[in-house]
Amino acid sequence: MEWVYMNNFIHKVGNLWTNKKWKIIPYISLFTLVAIVALVLTILVGVKTIGWNWITGFTLGLIFAFIGIYVVIFATKKLISTENYFLYYFFYVLRIGIYAAPLIIGFLIPTPIFNWIGILLGLTPIILIPLFKNEIL
C-alpha cells in the first residue's frame, strides 16, 4: 500500500516540472540575473567606483548574448525540422563569432567606449544556459 502512495507522489512531482507554468522560471531567473548585475553596475557608476564604459560594455555583451541565445533556439528548431546537420554546424560557428564579436569590438576600438570586463559580464547569460537544460529550448 505504501508503494502505491510513493508512486503517486513521484508521478505528481514529475508532472510538476512539465506543467506549463514552470516553463517561465528560466526566463524569470535570467531576467533577474541581468537586472541585478545592471543595478550593481549602476550603483558602482553612481559612486564613481567604475566608469560608465562598464555599462556600455555590459549592454553590448548582453545584446550579443541574447542574439546568441536566439541563434541556439533557431538552430535547434531548424535541425529538428530539416535534419540538416551541416546547417546546424554553420549556426554553431556563427554563434562562436557572435560571442567573439563584442570582445573584438571592445579590444580594437582605440577609445575606451566599451570595457572588456563589462562585455564579459554581459555575456554571462550564455554561461548559464546549460543550467536550464531544455527549459529555454
Contact 64, 121 (CB under 8 A): no
Instruction: Tell me the whole-structure pTM to 2 decimals.
Output: 0.71
Beta-carbon contacts of 32 under 8 Å, excluding residues fewer than 6 positions away, are: none
- Count Cβ atoms below 10 Å from residue 87 Cβ, excluding itself: 13
Beta-carbon contacts of 137 under 8 Å, excluding residues fewer than 6 positions away, are: 72, 73, 76
Beta-carbon contacts of 114 under 8 Å, excluding residues fewer than 6 positions away, are: 53, 56, 57, 60, 102, 105, 106
Q: pLDDT digit of tens for each residue in the chain (137 aa)?
A: 445 454 555 555 455 445 555 566 677 777 888 888 889 888 988 898 888 888 888 888 889 988 988 888 888 888 888 888 888 889 889 989 998 998 888 888 877 888 888 888 888 888 777 766 555 44
- C-alpha 16/C-alpha 8 separation (Å) is 12
Of 81, 80, 126, 72, whose CA–CA distance to 100 is shortest?
A: 126
